[in-house]
Amino acid sequence: MSGVNHNAFLASCMRPMLRRRLSDALNFRNRYLSTIRSLPKATTTNLRSMTPPIAILGAGPSGLLLGRLLNRANIDFTIFERDSSAMSAWGRDGSGTLDLHEGSGLLALEEAGLLDVFKKKARYDVPLTIANMDGKILVKLDENQDTDRPEIDRRDLRSMLLDSVPKDRIQWGVKVEQVQQELDGTMAVHFAEGGSETGFRLVVGADGAWSKARNLLTPAIPEYSGRYYLTSAISPANPFYSIAECLVGTGNYMSMGGGRVVAAMRLGDGSYYTFAGLSLPEAWRHENAALIEDAARLREVLVKEHFADWATANTDLIANSDGDFYVWPLYGLSVGSLPQRSMPGVTLVGDAAHLTPPSGEGVNVALFDSLQLAQQIVKHGAHSLDRAIEEYERSMWPRARETIEDAAVKNEMFFAEDAPAGLLHAFTDGFQNGGEK
Ligand SMILES: Cc1cc2nc3c(=O)[nH]c(=O)nc-3n(C[C@H](O)[C@H](O)[C@H](O)COP(=O)(O)OP(=O)(O)OC[C@H]3O[C@@H](n4cnc5c(N)ncnc54)[C@H](O)[C@@H]3O)c2cc1C
């Protein structure tokens, strides 16, 4: 090649090659774009990026913790959440404060590397006062002692979990309508707004009470318990606040009797989350929409009509609350409705698997489910998800049964005519059996 400009020679050879490559690339791009434009939205999504193997429905405690654990194991996933943003959910309508237990909720946080963050937000000074409907205080527990069941506001737990999952793994404002198995065995997730995403090898229903994945495993739907919780708040600026503080302190106050409950819990910002539990027809919230909007009138109706035979020491917590009301009709799954079989490609965690009326265990079991599922997925690898589900469900369904049975017993204690007699017996038995509550 002497006498020839080496670079010019290379350039003259390369140019046609480059031109061909460029033209091939452009043709490919045009074919790709026209294919994409002619496809429905869902398939478009899958061409844009590789479908992760796992779809998690719901960014509640169970869905987020599962995401956190999978992320730490470098297993890809996507979370679909119906709330439009992190800010829009779990505000004051959440469940107030949650206590996390050793061996379940706390263990799950520890395994997820979140225990230190949790401890910064958690409260360990949480006395429990139990009174009857006459306002007579029967028990004060753990006063001025560190509890082994630390409490955290529900919204703090969620924001802690949210911060622990990469932001791009959560799709907000996406309400799942249906989950289906495709002919090739992969799973498709269909959205209420239209469109779907396909090609998942596992869909995990972490979408709570009305899970859209549950019907693949059981035809059962949650049954109404006959009871509602109506929740409100007492803020530090409330003139009644100092009286609430005397009664509830830094922990929880529960009064019960005659088939009803009045309770208050201290939140992280110092305010009190109050709730009244009572028997109402299932359709009550629809038939009383205007009353629910009118908090002052609802307070009056509750105190004068539903809790008229209660001591004012208790009902003052309702009468003097200053927030709007949030109404929770309480639903649960029955033991008989739990699935008898496993199905490849889908499983459930948390309330989706074993919804119960509140019993103090729900979030703990939800977090523990996710820990157990993540451990099985990591153990078997993302290529063997069906094996992982099988093993996970082998211990999860018996746990679900236990959770449902335990909640039924506790709720009967809370709402018994002679409450809190049963609860006090349970405490006494627990203490005789080694201090377990
Ligand atoms: C009034 C009340 C008080 C409670 N108090 C306690 C307590 O003191 N202690 C305790 O342990 N437990 C308590 N619980 C129960 C506890 O809150 C639940 O057990 C726990 O939150 C379950 O977590 P999860 O992640 O399984 O479901 P959830 O917390 O219900 O989260 C489900 C997530 O899925 C999303 N979602 C739902 N449907 C769809 C859909 N179709 N598409 C996409 N996303 C969807 C929801 O927006 C939500 O973010 C209480 C519950 C209630 C109602």
Q: Which residues line ligand 1 (CB under 6 A)?
A: 57-63, 80-83, 89, 95, 98, 175-176, 206-208, 210, 212, 229, 328, 350-352, 358, 360-364, 366
Give the model's pLDDT for residue 243.
98
Residues 74 and 191 in one domain: yes
Q: Which of 37-41, 58-62, 335-339 has the lowest mean pLDDT?
A: 37-41
Confirm whether 434 is domain-assigned.
no
Is residue 359's pLDDT more than 70? yes
Q: Which residue has the least CA distance to atom 21 on ligand 1?
A: 363
d(CA 359, CA 349): 17
| Domain co-membership, 204 together with 231 | no
Tens digit of pLDDT for each residue in 118-130? 999 999 989 999 9
Q: For ligand 1, atom 3, which residue shows the shortest CA distance?
A: 95
Mean pLDDT (the chain, rounded): 87
- The per-residue pLDDT for 220 is 86
- pLDDT tens digits for range 163-207: 999 999 999 999 999 999 999 999 999 999 999 999 999 999 999
At position 323, the amino acid (one-letter code) is G
User: CB of 59 within 8 A of CB of 115?
Assistant: no
* Domain assignment present for 339: no
256 shares a domain with 323:
yes
Residue 7 pLDDT class (50, 70, 90 cuts): very low
Examine the domain organization and report whether 236 and 258 are in the same domain. yes
- Give, for ligand 1, the residue of 123, 347, 363 to mutate: max count of ligand atoms closer than 8 Å to Cβ: 363
Q: What is residue 430's DSSP assignment?
A: H
Residue 13: is its pLDDT beyond 80?
A: no
How far, in Å, CA of 325 to CA of 290, rounded? 12
Residue 141, pLDDT above cutoff 90: no
Please tell me whether residues 171 and 85 are part of one structural domain. Answer: yes
Residue 61 lies in a domain: yes
- pLDDT single digits (tens) 54-86: 999 999 999 999 999 999 999 999 999 999 987
**Whether 103 and 199 share a structural domain:** yes
Same-domain status, 60 and 190: yes
pLDDT, tens digit, 9 for 90 and up, residues 270-310: 999 999 999 999 999 999 999 999 999 999 999 999 999 99
Mutate to test the pocket of ligand 1, among 351, 368, 414 (most ligand atoms within 8 A of CB): 351
Note down the domain range covering 34: 6-38
Cα 99-105-106 angle, rounded to 5 deg: 90
Q: Residues 6 or more apart from 190 whose CB is under 8 A from it?
A: 176, 177, 178, 179, 180, 196
* pLDDT band per the 50, 70, 90 thresholds, residue 404: very high
Query: Is there a domain that residue 299 lies in?
Result: yes
SS3 label, residue 347: strand
What average pLDDT does range 383-410 have in this prediction? 96
Residues 60, 13, single domain; the answer is: no
